[in-house]
Structures are given as C-alpha cells and as structure tokens.
Structure 1
C-alpha cells in the first residue's frame, strides 16, 4: 500500500475545530495534537495532508468523513459513527476504535496498525490495499464487503463475523481466533495455517483431524 504523503515538518499547528471556519468543512496541512472532541456531530468534513495525534473523538457522529494523506496516532474513536467515510492514503496507528461504525465506507491504501477494533462494524465496505497489522478485531463484523489486496497480519479476530464477503487470497494464517463465523463457499482460497484448517474442517464438515 501507499503511505500517506505527509510529514510533521511540512505542517502548521492547528485545531481540528478550525475545520468549521471553512465553508466546505476542509482542513489542510494541519498538525493537530492533544484535543478532546467528544460527541462531535458533522456531515462530510474533509482532512487533507494532516497528522492527528492524541485526539479524542469518542462518541462522535462524523458521517461521510473524507481524509486524504492523513496519519491518526493514539486517537480514540470509540463508538464513533464514521459511516460512508472515504479514506485514501490514511494510517491509523495505536488507535482505540472499539465499536466504531465504518459501514458503507471506501478504503483505499489504508493501514490499521496496533489498533483496538473490537466490536467494530466494517460492513458494505469497498476496500483496496488495506492492511490490518497487530490489531484486535474480536467480535467485529466484516460483512458484504468488496475486497482487493487485503492483509491481516498477527491480528486477534476471535468471534469475528465474515459473511457475504469473498475471502479468496486473503491470508489470515498469522492471526489468532478460537471461533469465527464464516461461509464455506466464500472462504475458498483463503490462506490459513494448519490449526485454522482443522477448525474449518470441523466447523463446516464435522471432521475432526487427528494429528500423528
């Protein structure tokens, strides 16, 4: 995936609230740090070429959010509604995203690294070149998605629901789970490790594999 085209040296310190100063709700070239923005309510704000660090958006309704060349680090998006978002060349690093709603979103060249995404809603998502690295996605829903070049690396995906989503060529072999909700016809071609293959054989066929 392509990394965001932004460095701290090219930015000016700004507040996220300055986005409301623009008629089009656009904030550009901003270094946004250490803000508490809980319960924000806005439709179609736009961030371009920004770094957002240690900002709390907890419980906000920010629908149709657009972000291009943005890095979010150590932010709290718990229980936020980001439905129908558009993220292009965006990184989420060490973010808390429990219960976030990203339904109907378009994700292109997006990375989630060391993020807490338990109970997240990632449904009806169009995702291209998206990486989940060392994330926790326990009990997340991942349904009715269109995927291209998706990676899950060393993630906790226990009790995740993956329905109506073609998982062909998606590699989950480094991930951990005790149970997973999936559909047999849509995980064909998914890459798994030996333990996971044993789980799916038992889950779909009732076959118990005896290792010798």
Structure 2
C-alpha cells in the first residue's frame, strides 16, 4: 500500500527495494527513451536536450542538472533528493507521485505541466515558472517560491505549510478553498476576482484588502 500525506491524501512514490545504482548517467538521453528502476546518485547530468523521456521508479540523489531540457516528459514514482534542478526545463511534462526533498529548484520551468500526487519539502524554487500548470493533490512544506510565476494555474486539494510566495504572480490561478494562512504572500500579484474563497489569516486579509479597493483606518 502506498504511503499517503493525510491532509490532502497525496500518494507517495513507490520504488523497488533493490534498485540498480549508477553514479554516471551523463550519456546522451534520446527522445522517448525509458529510464526505469534505477538509483542515480552523486553525479552531474548536463547538456541534455530531449523530449518525451519516461522516468519511472527512479531516485535521483545528490544530482546536479546543468543545461538540461526534458520537455513533454513523464515522471512517475520519482524522488529527487538533495538535487540541484536550477533552470532545468520540464515544461509540458506530466509528474505523477513525485517527491522533491531539500532540492534547489531556482528558475525551474514547469510551465503547462500536469502534477498529480506531489510532495515538495525543504526546497528553494524562487523565480520558478509554473504558468498554466495543473495541480491535483500536492503537499508543499517549508519551501521558498518567491518571485515565481503561478499565473493561470489550476489547483485542487493543495496543502501548504510555511511556504514563501512573496512577490509571486498569481493572477488567474484557481485559489478557491486553498489555505494560505500559514504562508508568506507579501507583494503577490493577484486580481480581486482571484481572492474569492482563498483562506488567509487576518493580517493577510488586511494586506490583500487593497485589491478590493478598501481603505482601512
């Protein structure tokens, strides 16, 4: 049985007990290649540009991704642990049962991607591009996503714990029912119509009142 995060019923990745380990995976990765059932650790993956790559039951540990593009790819039952994914391009991809633990994700491009059962803990994802992405069942905890682009995101069953969204763009995102009361949202870009149903703290409500044209004395 898969482990779950109770608050939003996120299913965690399921990996085989005996995984083939490799410390060198910088061979050219071809379009539509399948990478399955391996532990990739302590290496640099660089200068890769491929589409429709399938990663299934893969654990990346202490991996640096440099100048990497994996557009329109599939990630299923995948764990990224202590990895540097800065500026990687995973746009228009599908991520299902994927966990990010203590990763650097600055400037990551996940625009127009689909996320199902995602866990992000202790990560730094400032300046990320998640525009037009779709999220269903996700848990984000103690992570940084300052100055990121969340415009027109579709969100459902999202649990947020101490996430910093300061100065991020969120106009057009479906925020109804999302609880951001435990997050930092100072200076976010948002429209009045996007605030309907958003759950915030009293102090956050005062800060967001300017989008409703209110003057608080």
Q: What is the TM-score with the length of structure 2 in the denominator?
A: 0.89
Q: How far apart, CA to CA, are the structure 2 residues paired with 1:143 and 1:149? A: 18
**1:44 maps onto 2:36 in alignment:** no
* Stretches of structure 1 lacking an aligned partner (at least 5 in a row): none
* Equivalent of 1:180 in 169, 184, 188: 188
1:50-199 to structure 2, matched below 5 A, reads: 50-199=58-207
Runs of 4+ in 1 over 3 A off after TM superposition: 15-20
| Counterpart residue number, 1:6 | 15
Q: How far apart, CA to CA, are the structure 1 residues paired with 2:18 and 2:156?
A: 32
Q: What CA distance in whole angstroms lies between the structure 2 residues aligned with 1:26 and 1:2?
A: 23
Are the aligned partners of 2:32 and 2:51 in contact in 1 as well (CA < 8 Å)? Answer: no
Going by fraction, where is helix more abundant, 1 or 2? 1
Are the equivalent residues in 1 in contact too, given 2:31–2:53 (CA < 8 A)? no
Q: Deviation at 1:207?
A: 2.0
Instruction: Point out where structure 2 has 5 or more consecutive residues left out of the alignment.
Output: 1-9
Offset from partner CA, 1:150-186 (integer Å, 9 cap, x none): 1221011100110111200001110113211111112
TM-score for both structures, normalised by structure 1: 0.91
**8 A contact 2:101–2:120 mirrored in 1:** yes
**Could you tell me whether the CA contact under 8 Å between 2:26 and 2:44 is conserved in 1?**
no
- Structure with the largest fraction of strand: 2
CA pair 192-108 structure 1, distance change in 2 beyond 3 A: same
Q: Structure 1 residues 23 and 45 mapped into 2: Cα distance closer, same or farther (>3 Å)?
A: closer
How many residues of Structure 1 are paired with residues of Structure 2 in the alignment?
207
